[in-house]
Amino acid sequence: MAVAASLTQAWMGSIIFILEKAVVHEKHKKHKNIQSDNKL
């Protein structure tokens, strides 16, 4: 049972990590777009 719990925790942690990376990537893309708009 403890093994299943630790596996679930690791799985949840990796999903949260991937989601956070995706969110940061989106924010970075938007920020870059804003910067390029300002140059025009």
pLDDT at 12 over 70: yes
What local confidence, expressed as pLDDT, does residue 35 receive?
75
The CA-based dihedral angle spanning residues 29, 30, 33, 34, taken in that order and rounded to the nearest 10 degrees? -140
Q: How far is CA 5 from CA 8, 9, 12, 30, 31, in A?
A: 5, 6, 11, 38, 39
Distance CA 1, CA 5 (A): 6
Question: How sure is the predictor about 40, in pLDDT bands with cuts at 50, 70 and 90?
Answer: low
pTM for the model stands at 0.55
Per-residue confidence band for 39, with pLDDT thresholds at 50, 70 and 90: low
User: Among all chains, which residue has been given the structure tokens 């956070």?
Assistant: 20
* Side-chain half-sphere CA neighbours of 17 within 13 A: 6
pLDDT at 21 over 80: yes
Taking the mean position of all CA atoms in its chain, how far away is CA 38?
26
pLDDT of the residue at 37: 73
